[in-house]
Amino acid sequence: MATKLTDLAIRKAQPRDKKYKLSGGGGLTLIVMPDGAKYWRLRYRFAGKEKELSLGRPYPALSLKSAEAEAISLRLLLASGIDPAEQRFQTKLDRKQKAAQLFREAADAWFEFRSKAWAPRTSDQVRDYLDKDLLPILGKRPLDAVTTKELAALSRAIEERGAPDVAKKARQWLAAIFSYARANGWASNNPTQDLRAVVLPSMTARNYAHLTLAELPDLLRGLETIDASPIVKGAAMLALWTANRPGVTRTLRWSELDLDQALWVIEKGRDGMKRGYAHLTPLPNQAVAMLREIRKLTGTFEYVFIGRNDPGRPLSDGAVNMLLKRLGYRGRQTTHGFRHLISTVLNEQGYESDWVERQLAHGDPDKIRSTYNKAVYLEPRRKMMQDWADYIDRLRMQGK
């Protein structure tokens, strides 16, 4: 007859080169690992097959007395014709099913399912927005308790910080999450069904608010003197110097820049670029000088404008708009609004509309007439944007 396992014997059990077992009788065993950890297991037979089940917590978190009591409970299940492993699986499944009735669990399950088909950068972006914009507000809310009204308020809050594109994507993700939850039987509610009707009236011109040319000098002087991160200020100025989209500007990579040639090369299919168009951006001298200074700070990272909390990720979508808000331009100027301002000024100053449209990356360059493949109007645009950067400098000096 095997000697009954005791607490003293367990405490004295020393680790060996390989794991070994101490028997507690009736299939209960203690596994002693080479690192000294001690885990409880229950060996049993069910339907003619030998199985082994972990009792969860290791010794001494689960004492000998508690392990023996748990083993007795599991043997009673066996006597009733129930496989303890199967029952544990069903219990976990039920718990997961119940937990998924919360928005956080449903959102995480949807993300895990959908992200398998996404590119890594897309997956990282969606995860970032979920964690930053949706889960802090909705995470603990039961799915069927969420209302259209609160989703509309959430969407407006994102818009009002100057990120209308993020608000649009957030509404799309909300609709997908609730659709996924209903398909899995976690919710019957669909608060996103009428969300567009509630949100649309608030999406006025403030989404792309921009100043008049007469108001620009004060903004330029404010950007120059405000005590703020040179990375955020650099992103704001690059948007002004190039007219590129905010999402593309804040995710600029060092690999896309040829500072010696004063060029920013965006390859076809680049994330953040509308419809994935390729685009060549001539850089004025002022932009090249700024980027050389920024390289001293972030040149060892992938992104030019790195995130405040994670240098492995780009600047957040609301950073520049928050800077504009600090300057007193909330509702009057957004990063995207720079494009409207630049387009208006360049057209009014008599530059060819085709040059301006190409600078704004409007339309597919592969389908636009050109003499040098995708380098559409590159040289005249280079002069145009240098003229614009010089003009900005003169505006900033007004009143000094």
Nearest to 85 by CA among 140, 25, 37, 44: 44
| Cα–Cα dist 170/157, whole Å | 11
**pTM beyond 0.85, yes or no:** no
Catalytic residue among 104, 233, 245, 325: 245
Q: Hey, what long-range contacts does 80-83 have (CB within 8 A, 24 or more apart)? A: 83/46, 83/47, 83/51
Name the active-site residue from 339, 340, 358, 396: 339
**pLDDT the model gives residue 206:** 43
Our answer to whether residue 245 is catalytic in this structure is yes
Contact 257, 264 (CB under 8 A): yes
CATH value of 103-203 in 3.40.50.2300, 1.10.150.130, 3.30.70.260, 1.20.120.80? 1.10.150.130
Q: Is the peptide bond before 201 cis (omega within 30 degrees of 0)?
A: no
Phi, psi angle pair for 233, to nearest 5°: -65, -40
Catalytic residue among 4, 45, 274, 383: 274
Specify whether 303 is catalytic: no
The highest-level CATH class for domain 213-397 is mainly alpha
Q: What's the per-residue H, E or C state across 25-87? A: ECCEEEEECCCCCEEEEEEEEECCEEEEEECCCCECCCCHHHHHHHHHHHHHHHHCCCCHHHH
User: What's the pLDDT score for residue 375?
Assistant: 53
**Selected catalytic residue, list 325, 336, 381, 382:** 336
For the chain, give every domain's residue range.
Answer: 7-96, 103-203, 213-397
Q: What is the pLDDT along the chain (400 residues), one digit of tens a residue?
A: 455 788 899 888 999 999 999 888 888 999 999 999 999 998 898 888 888 888 878 898 889 898 888 888 888 888 888 888 888 887 776 666 655 588 999 999 999 999 888 877 778 878 888 998 899 999 999 998 999 999 999 988 887 776 777 888 888 899 999 999 989 888 888 999 888 776 654 444 344 667 888 888 898 999 999 999 999 999 999 999 999 988 899 999 999 999 999 999 988 777 666 555 788 899 999 999 999 999 999 999 999 999 988 899 999 888 998 999 999 988 888 888 888 889 888 888 888 888 888 888 875 555 444 433 445 688 999 999 999 999 999 988 875 5
Task: Show the DSSP H helices in 192-270 as ranges.
Answer: 195-199, 216-225, 230-242, 246-250
Q: Is 56 left (phi over 0), alpha (psi -120 to 50) or beta?
A: left
Q: What is the pLDDT of residue 202?
A: 45
Question: Is 279 tagged catalytic?
Answer: no
Name the catalytic one among 12, 49, 372, 400: 372
Distance CA 209, CA 333 (A): 5
Q: How big is the chain, counted in residues?
A: 400
Q: Go through 280-296 and write b for each residue having 16 or more CB atoms within 10 A of its CB, e for each that does not.
A: bbbbbebbbebbeebee
CATH of 7-96, one of 3.40.50.2000, 3.40.50.300, 3.30.160.390, 3.40.50.720: 3.30.160.390
**pLDDT the model gives residue 126:** 86
What is the C-alpha separation between 12 and 105, in angstroms, rounded?
44
Q: Is 340 a catalytic residue?
A: no
Q: Which of 114, 127, 168, 362 is catalytic?
A: 362
